[in-house]
Amino acid sequence: MTLPDRVIAILAEQAVLDPSDLTPEARLSDLGLDSLGLVEAIFAIEEAFDISVPFNANEPDAGQFDLTSVASVIAAVEQLVAQKAA
Amino acid sequence: MRRVVITGAGTVNALAVGVPATMAAMAEGRCGIGPIDIADVDRLSIRIGAQVAGWDAGARFDRQKLTLYDRFTQFTLVAAAEAVAQSGLSFDGPLSQASGCIFGTAAGGMTTWDENYRAVYAEAKNRVHPFVVPKLMASAAASHVSMAWGLKGPVYTVSTACASSNHAMGLAFQTIRSGQAKVMLTGGAEAMLTFGGIKAWEGLRVMSPDGCRPFSADRNGMVMGEGAAVFVFEDYDHARARGADILAEVAGFGMTSDAGDIVAPSVDGAARAIAAALRDAGLSADDVGYVNAHGTGTAANDRVEAAALRQVLGDIPVPVSSTKAMHGHVIGGTGAIELLACLMALRDGVIAPNLGCSAPDPDCPLDIVSLAARRAKVGAVLSNAFAFGGLNAVLALRQA
């Protein structure tokens, strides 16, 4: 599975949706992920890619990790994976 | 129903060991939060806390006793000794059986769990100390206090996460009010500043990496503390008859459950608990001169708490502060330590400040006593605790 597919699979599992239902443009707030689901999704991403995602539930929009849409999460994960490899 | 008063107080927390020094620190607005000193701190992303610095257990307890005392038990025993000494009580004769203790703790002997898991998992040891079980049990502190002072009536521990000690004190209040006991030691303790304890909290993503700023627009989470506070609750007639110095009256207690979410708080559950405490105390909203807020510094708590306070107290500007920016969030022991700020408001007319709230969140429209202590004549106070799992416990105190 490619990195985008793996991220989509993680988000879909937490949102209880089929991965094919998640378009890159889909906004996380529209997926029905509650705060616990979001924290679990981030944990799953960290475990899957062995990275640390900077995320504080008190300031989810602080901008360190863009959780706006499926595409923005994929881009942020790609960046963290690249940083780890560098 | 019998009236219940407080005739002794004791504490160990990051600000100080002892009530006078703790109140002095609260009055001057000192912050007890700083870098923590624990094993493997370099593997944590949260590295601050309100730690009881320089705690020398060996200087306070003999070696044989220490094999049975987890850190939370040690804190409880030292706080209890101060409270009992202030009360002037001795539990000889019939009073022994008419006295007990109820304490709150969320995790109990967390330090013991942590150290022994490290020994068997990380260090591959195949043997642990024979007293690990009696040392780590959540009721250990209550049992040791009972043994130390000969309290032979109702003795137990309640665990309701961050509301534990408020529930414990509320139940101790009810125990005396109903005539089941003359004297109850009560309060709570927590010693969760361990590698495993902080690691678990990190996972929830609600901890601040840089400081506790309740109700402030720039707050970004809670900061954990540790410690204990213990109070002597006493039947009013009993206290009067022996000429005891009465610190305050425990006027009422309200408890509710949200029956909603395991972590997200609800305005309705909190508001019903606040209203229940007022009703139980026979107080009206305009009697309240100070509210010690739960005020964790998380986005979820502070807005919900502000809305609940407005709902019950109306638009009357009641001074509010969360003292967690000074002593940290002491989890199951936090309500007990915060009751000290309530006593200070009632006794000394000094409202402890809500440090870190330089720019109040507009979504928390309260009269926050920010940055520095405020002088005020306070006749009655509320102390809020709203726990994970939707368990709410609010105490009402008034001047004796």
Q: Domain containing B166 — which CATH number?
A: 3.40.47.10
Name the DSSP class of B256.
E
N-to-C CA span, chain B: 17
Residues B172, B97: Cα–Cα separation, whole Å = 15
Residues B394, B338: Cα–Cα separation, whole Å = 12
Are residues B264 and B215 both part of a single domain? no
Residues B231, B169: Cα–Cα separation, whole Å = 9
Residues of A in contact with B204 (CB under 8 A): 39, 57
A80: distance to nearest CA of chain B, Å?
Answer: 17
Residues A76, B363: Cα–Cα separation, whole Å = 30
B238 is catalytic: no
The predicted pLDDT at position A63 comes to 66
Are residues B217 and B267 both part of a single domain? no
Count structural domains, chain A: 1
Residues B349, B22: Cα–Cα separation, whole Å = 16
Q: Residue B362 is part of which domain span?
A: 249-398
| A61: contact with B, CB 8 A cutoff | no
Are residues B84 and B162 both part of a single domain? yes
How, if at all, do strands B4-13 and B227-235 pair? antiparallel
ipTM > 0.90, yes or no: no
Are residues B87 and B232 both part of a single domain? yes
pLDDT bin (cut points 50, 70, 90) of residue B317 is: confident
Share of chain B above pLDDT 90, in %: 98
Q: Are B328 and B300 in contact (CB under 8 A)?
A: no
The predicted pLDDT at position B25 comes to 98
Tokens, residue B133? 């079980």
Are residues B16 and B124 both part of a single domain? yes
Residues B75, B284: Cα–Cα separation, whole Å = 36
**pLDDT tens-digit readout, B352-380:** 999 999 899 999 999 999 989 999 999 99
CB contact under 8 A, A57 and B299: yes
**pLDDT tens-digit readout, B120-140:** 999 999 999 999 999 999 999
> A53 to chain B: nearest residue by CA?
B205
B294 is catalytic: yes
The predicted pLDDT at position A34 comes to 84
Q: Are B383 and B335 in contact (CB under 8 A)?
A: yes
Burial class (CB in 10 A: 0-12, 13-18, 19+), B53: exposed
B144 is catalytic: no
* Count of CB atoms situated within 10 Å of the CB of B25: 19
Q: Residue A28 is part of which domain span?
A: 3-85
Are residues B378 and B306 both part of a single domain? yes
DSSP B206-231: -B-SS---TTBTT---B-BB-EEEEE
Taking a contact as any Cβ pair under 8 Å apart, which residues of chain B between 288 and 347 contact chain A?
A: 297-300
The one-letter amino acid at B106: A
